[in-house]
Amino acid sequence: MYSKLVEDLDGLPALLDAARAQAGELLAGVADRPVAVPPGTFEPAELPEDGVGARAALAEFGRRWAPGFAASAGPRYLGFVTGGATPAAVAGDWLTAAADQNPVSSLDSSASDLERETVGWLAKLFGLGPEFSGAFVSGATMSNVVGLAIGREWLGERLGVTVADAGVAALGPVEVLSGSPHSSALKAMSVLGLGRSALRPVTVQPEREAVDVEALDRELAALGGRPAIVIANAGTVNTVDFDDLRAIAALKAKYPFWLHVDAAFGGFAALSPEHAALVGGLELADSVCVDLHKWLNVPYDSAIQFSRRLDLQVRVFQNSAAYLGHPGDNPDFVHRTPESSRRLRALAAWCTLAAYGRAGHREIVERCVAHARDLGDRLAGTPQWRLLAPVRLNVVCFTLAEDPTQERIDAVVRAVAAGGETFVTPTVYAGVPALRAAFSNWRTGREDVDRIFAALVSGSGAA
């Protein structure tokens, strides 16, 4: 055995203690470190011929790389929709690495049963019944890929074609209808061979991102009975707008379509009694996407996909190899998603759900919503900023009050990031260059909103 491996194996407890101490330092300072660190000049090092051992490698990471990491796990990182990681989720993720289980097969461990239990817990959290099966995937993009792949197979079933065998060309033209699809849905369509051009945009409601259901009705009628896929949104990225899922699902009585709901982070509205109506009808979907490294606050990467047609899912993703076994009535995860091997993502989710339950995660959701409303009210009361949409849940979409050009918005983004107090991402809403602040971190408190607001007011001076 290589000498450095022997040394590290002999000193493994001390090595893990050193890693714990280094991680503890990272997390202890996460509220005070610069929230974003604009990258500098990058010069890659040469691959070492002889290793330095794990302790020295940890020290090298601390010297070269840790200072340049964003404090994205901290309370004032509002870019994209980025959760942190609860203490229980961090602990679960460490155990995931230590146990190093591959849960796609149930032949050798209980890991797949842990995932099944966690999937069941999450289904109840989102109000999905026992007719739904689910599996962990890497993120919302892959969840959309899986859901739309099952929808693609459903199209084939309606047309008498087994797409998994015959290929997507056997379907002929495919129509995918949506009002405000996320970019990852278009990526999924490209990956699946449907093509981005298969999207048929549907009119949205005035000053909304939610689809006009009457317009959707007309678009479906124009297909003349040909089956289609409808992508509905439970929380758009700019304004967290929600399609009327019940009204859309009701159209299935008249038209044949697969209803895929992208609830990447908006699905967590189900935890709050005040906001649960926003996802009313989620249980009527055929497939559902939810991203867990957002509002569940588990480490990257983690998402889940749900579907009510496990048979079609297995038809698409089955891995036909003698050593993997036949799918059977309760197929292993190797037959449910694109991956034939992956880490036990479910463990971090299981830990945080076991540790804090529905009540703890409901408190996180409701607190984030309260902070978003607070920031929205403050920005609306300033002469520098104006809101572009109501704060419906946890995202504030806003722009400069005067002359909001892309150049000026970009200057603000750079100034705010350079200040180190917070980080927000640019967007364009209704043709207007803008900013969006997404609250989804369990650490964020009222004092952080004070600092975020001050940084945005100060950053507006760079425009």
pLDDT band, residue 322 (cuts 50/70/90): confident
Among candidate residues 140, 122, 409, 398, the one with its CA nearest the CA of residue 291: 140
pLDDT band, residue 41 (cuts 50/70/90): confident
Whether 325 shows a pLDDT value over 90: the answer reads: no
Query: pTM (2 decimals)?
Result: 0.96
Question: Across residues 6-15, what is the average pLDDT?
Answer: 96
- Quote the pLDDT of residue 330: 87
Query: Encoding tokens for residue 428?
Result: 């364009």
Q: What is the mean pLDDT of the chain?
A: 96
Strands across the sheet containing 176-178: 133-137, 303-307, 287-291, 257-262, 228-233, 176-178, 199-201
Whether 324 shows a pLDDT value over 80: the answer reads: no
pLDDT band, residue 326 (cuts 50/70/90): confident
| Contact of 158 with 175, CB cutoff 8 Å | no
pLDDT tens-digit map of 365-397: 999 999 999 999 999 999 999 999 999 999 999
- Quote the pLDDT of residue 420: 95
Whether 462 shows a pLDDT value over 90: the answer reads: no
The conformation of residue 203, written as its DSSP 8-state character, comes to P
- Quote the pLDDT of residue 158: 97
Dihedral, CA atoms, 260, 198, 205, 406, nearest 10 degrees? 110
Query: Encoding tokens for residue 35?
Result: 């929230």
Whether 132 shows a pLDDT value over 80: the answer reads: yes
Question: Across residues 158-173, what is the average pLDDT?
Answer: 96
Question: Across residues 265-276, what is the average pLDDT?
Answer: 98
- Quote the pLDDT of residue 321: 80
Question: Across residues 404-429, what is the average pLDDT?
Answer: 97
Among candidate residues 384, 417, 442, the one with its CA nearest the CA of residue 79: 417
pLDDT tens-digit map of 102-122: 999 998 999 999 999 999 999
